[in-house]
Chain A
């Protein structure tokens, strides 16, 4: 399955949600990297067993 495609407008909206209000040309410069990151996201979202906890699970002895 290929990752979902994202166009300039969708990327601009995601960047804005992250607090980056960028110009059209600034968004276009980032766009070619989106597909590469989407492939990574697809990769890490392959199913895991429910008991697989995050690596950064809270550790009561840390503080």
Chain B
């Protein structure tokens, strides 16, 4: 079986005419046919479309008209991203026959960049309820151990990339739905700054917390994919009109001189992470320090404060969107989605105003803490993936999340694999930056990844 390439590697080979986009696509279609029955990462395979995209990419390759590093690259979309003429279900019975007439803004951007679309990927129902076994399709499985959870909600994207079914894919992140699957599937995933990527055509969960972003095997690949997604869209009221930087411009500059703060209390006392997770973060901090970064501990409000603000806003915004369907078709939702979102009924008007007031206080706190820092480090997840059949209904509420603080503030954050823990399952750290400093965030992540051996190891089933 051919080695699985990164996007950067494949792009170089395609540009040098040493790799055929059609052959690359056929290789990935074959991998999907062979491995996905064990993973359930795909809800829909769009083979005909993929081969047509690949043929067009190869024609551009042969005529010297490649559109850039994403031309000819096999990708797939989380099934909350609208795809014109192609079923988009949100992994829900409510939309099982939904066929949009228009691509999401970001889907079109990637298509215009020459990507090859292989299909639509599993998600948690409407990017929130999962892992669910009572919706029309089964949940995605973790390629490192198929009895284990992928995290969510970009579950299919995480599984498909880790298993080498695709080289990159879309995710969305309202409380950690890009960074969670990236962490538990041992890949990279970046939630960009709020407003950097358009959400138009992506089925919303909670408008003020929703972010679109990419997942890939490496931080460098995330940068390449983000380049193809970011930019102003007048149709998205949150979209920011500002020049898009070169996200890979700082790669290779190393970690020297970076000012790094460690939010140690998040993962040591607020919600103590696993031994392997804490060990991986400590080793990464040692790496950054040895490379010449300035590292110090930094203190924020307890993680539970960020979590409470984010969660209450998330369920009330989600209920606002779903109430018409929930009132008419309550049992058509899976149990996890309907029961979690129904809890918005106990949140009062004054409660939600108070949550948004506190949100601003927390935003100011984080901005002040980062004034003389480039990066803050914490955990992505509590630890190694749990069994998929033992994730409690209230699991995402009971303990404070490490990812939610950056949805509450809108600051960019990336999850990077830091090795392997109990049972050989991946563990990860989270790096966050100030708004619109994605190039610096990717620089730090890339410096770490290229110095460590973790990117050389794939799940056994994928090799």
Contacts and interface: CB of A to CB of B under 8 A. Distances in A.
A19 B327 contact: yes
Contacts of A56: 208, 356
A17 to B, nearest CB: 7
A62 B346 contact: no
**Interface size class of chain A, counting residues whose CB lies under 8 Å from the partner chain:** 20 to 34
A55 B359 contact: yes
B208 to A, nearest CB: 7
Residue of B353, B357, B397 contacting most chain A CB atoms (<10 Å): B357
Contacts of A18: 319, 323, 342, 344-345
Contacts of A9: none
Interface string A3-40: 00010000100110111101000100110111011111
B363 interface: yes
Contacts of A62: 237
A48 B357 contact: yes
Is chain B's binding surface mostly helix, strand, loop or mixed? helix
A48 B358 contact: yes
B198 to A, nearest CB: 17
A17 B348 CA distance: 11
B343 interface: yes
Contacts of A60: none
B339 A48 contact: no
A40 B353 CA distance: 14
A54 B355 CA distance: 8
B394 A43 contact: no
A52 B20 CA distance: 58
A1 interface: no
Contact of B308 (A15, A20, A43, A55): A43
Contacts, number: 98
Given A20-B330, A52-B357, A52-B361, A41 B351 contact: yes
Contact of B394 (A15, A32, A45, A53): A32
Contacts of A53: 357, 360
A21 B334 CA distance: 17
Given A29-B335, A37-B343, A43-B305, A19 B323 contact: yes
B343 A30 contact: yes
Given A48-B358, A53-B357, A55-B357, A38 B346 contact: yes
B289 interface: no
Given A20-B345, A33-B394, A40 B308 contact: yes
A20 B326 CA distance: 7
B323 to A, nearest CB: 6
Given A32-B394, A37-B312, A54-B353, A26 B237 contact: no
The 5 closest A-B pairs by CB, nearest first: A40-B308, A54-B356, A18-B345, A55-B359, A43-B308
24 contacts: A11-B346, A14-B346, A18-B342, A20-B326, A20-B327, A29-B335, A33-B339, A33-B394, A36-B398, A37-B311, A37-B343, A37-B397, A40-B312, A41-B346, A43-B308, A44-B305, A44-B309, A44-B312, A44-B351, A44-B355, A44-B358, A52-B360, A54-B357, A56-B356
